[in-house]
Amino acid sequence: MAEEQGIAGEDLLQLDRSAGDFHYDVKYAYDAGVGLSEETVDYICDAKNDPTWLRDFRKRALEIFLREPLPTHWASEQLAEIDFSQIRYYLAHGQRAGRSWDEVPEEVKRTFERLGVPEQERKFLAGVEAQFDSEAAYSNMKEALRAQGVIFVGSTEGLHKHPELFRKWFGKVIPPGDNKFAALNSAVFSGGSFIYVPPGVKVSHPLQAYFRINAESFGQFERTLIIADEGSEVTYMEGCTAPRFDTATLHSAVVELVALPGAKIQYITVQNWSPNVFNLVTKRGMAMENAEVRWIDCNIGSRLTMKYPAVILRGRKARGEVLSIALANSGQHQDTGAKMIHLADETTSNIIAKSISIGEGRSSYRGMVRIPNHLKGCKNNTECDALLINTSSRTDTYPAITLRGNRSAVQHEASVSKISAEQIFYMRQRGLPESEAMSLSVNGFVNDLVREFPMEYSVELKRLIDLEMEGSVG
C-alpha cells in the first residue's frame, strides 16, 4: 500500500476501476460469522439493539427468503454461482458513525481518503455518509440544513432517534415479500441512509452516501429510506466500489423513496463494482399528488447487476422518470431497466435507457409500464437504445407495456446499432488512435444522459468509459 500517498483528492470521485481495487486488513469488533440462519439474525439484532418489532420483522423476512426459490426466468446461470452459505452477513468496526473524520478509525479513514470522499464533501456536498462493510463509519451534514429540520443519518440512528417517522414508512414501499432479495435485505439489513426533509425545505446541494465493501466473501445489505415532505426537494447521490477478489461478493440493497404532495426526489447512482460482485438491488419510489421521483442510474462493473428502479404514481399529476446507462464488458451481464405503475389520473412517466456491450459483455433492458382501464390523461414515453461494440457482444430488450382503455397514451421506441466503421475511419484519418475514436463514439452515444449527472460525476463517467474502451478494439 505504499503507493497510496498522494492518490486521495486527485479527482473528485476516483471512478477509475483501479482506484477502488484495494483493501486493508481490519480488526472487526462485530462478526456474525459465515452463513445465514436465525442465529445470524439474532446476532445482528443484538449488536444493533433492535426493538422487538424489528426482530420479528427480520425473522419473518428470513422465512420468506429461505422459502422462495431463486428466479429461474432470467440470469439464472449467474445467480446459481452464489453460495449463500459462504457469505459473511455482518461485519462492523463499531456501531457509532463519526461526526468528523478525526473520529473515524485510521484504517477506515485511509480507505475513504484514498477514494477522495472527504475532498468531495469539502467541495460540493451538503452532507456525506460513508459506509464501510456493514455500518456507517462517518455521517455528517451542514449545520444550516440541521437548523431547517433536515434529518440525514444512518438507518440505525434513524430507527432509534426518530422511531415514529421511521416505522411509518419502513417496508411500506418495498415489503419483504416483494422478491427473494428484498426478503434477504429485510432479514439482515444494516447501514444505509435515513433522510427526512420537512415541508417546503429545498436542499440546494446534494447529499451523498458512499458504500464501500472491504472484506472478502462478504454481503453488503444497506437499507435507505428517504421521505420528502410536502413541497420539499432533495437530491441524493450514491457511489459504490469494492476490491476484486476470487470469491463472490454480494450486494443486495433496498431503497424506498416517499415523495409527499408537491415534493421532488432525485436519486443518482454511479456504481463501479469489481467484476466479482453480484449486485441485486430493489429500488422503488412512491409519488403522491403533484410529486416527482427521478432516478438517474449508471451501472458499470459487477459480475451481474439486476436493478429496475420503479415509481408508483399514486397521486394525480405525479411524475416519474428513470434515466439509465449500463455498460457491460466481457464476463459481465447488466440486466437493468425500469418500472412505472400509474395509479392516478394525469400521471406522467418517462424512461430513457442506454446500454453499451463490449467484448463478450451482455446488456438487457427489462421494463414494465402499467396504466389501468379506469385512469385518464396518463402518459408514458419509453426509449431503449443499445450500442454493440463488436460481433461477440449481446443486447436484449424486454419491454412490457400494459395500457387498458383509450383515455391515456404510451409510446415506445427501441434501437440497436453498432459502432460506425465510417465514423471510426474518419476520426483515425485525423490522427486519433482507434481506441480514442471508439471512446468518442461511445461518449457521443450516451452524452445526452451524461449531461443529467452533476458535473463532478459526468467528468468522471467520461473517464471511466474511456478506461472501459481500452482493450476493446478488435
CA 404/CA 300 separation, integer angstroms:
36
- Which tops the pLDDT comparison, 456 or 446? 446
Given this model, what pLDDT does residue 12 score? 30
DSSP conformational letter for 363:
E
DSSP conformational letter for 246:
S
pLDDT tens digits for range 275-299: 889 999 999 999 999 999 999 998 9
- Which tops the pLDDT comparison, 104 or 158? 158
3-class secondary structure, 165: helix
Q: Of 59-63, 109-113, 150-154, where does mean pLDDT reach its minimum?
A: 109-113
- Which tops the pLDDT comparison, 117 or 373? 373
> Can you give the pTM of this predicted structure?
0.88
pLDDT tens digits for range 392-419: 889 999 999 999 989 999 999 999 988 7
Given this model, what pLDDT does residue 268 score? 92
3-class secondary structure, 249: strand
Q: Is residue 15 scored above 60 in pLDDT?
A: no
Q: Is residue 425 scored above 60 in pLDDT?
A: yes
Identity of the highest mean pLDDT range in 24-38, 121-135, 179-193: 179-193
pLDDT tens digits for range 172-194: 999 999 999 999 999 999 999 99
Element of type H or E holding 157: helix 155-161
Given this model, what pLDDT does residue 463 score? 67
Sequence ranges of the domains in the chain: 2-307, 421-474
CA 194/CA 251 separation, integer angstroms:
19
Q: Of 96-110, 266-280, 407-421, where does mean pLDDT reach its minimum?
A: 96-110
- Cβ atoms within 10 Å of 315's Cβ, excluding its own: 21
Burial 316-337 (b: 16+ CB within 10 A, else e): bbbbbbbbbbbbbbeebbbbbb
Mean of per-residue pLDDT scores for the chain: 86
φ/ψ region of 78 (left if φ > 0, alpha if ψ in -120 to 50, else beta) reads alpha
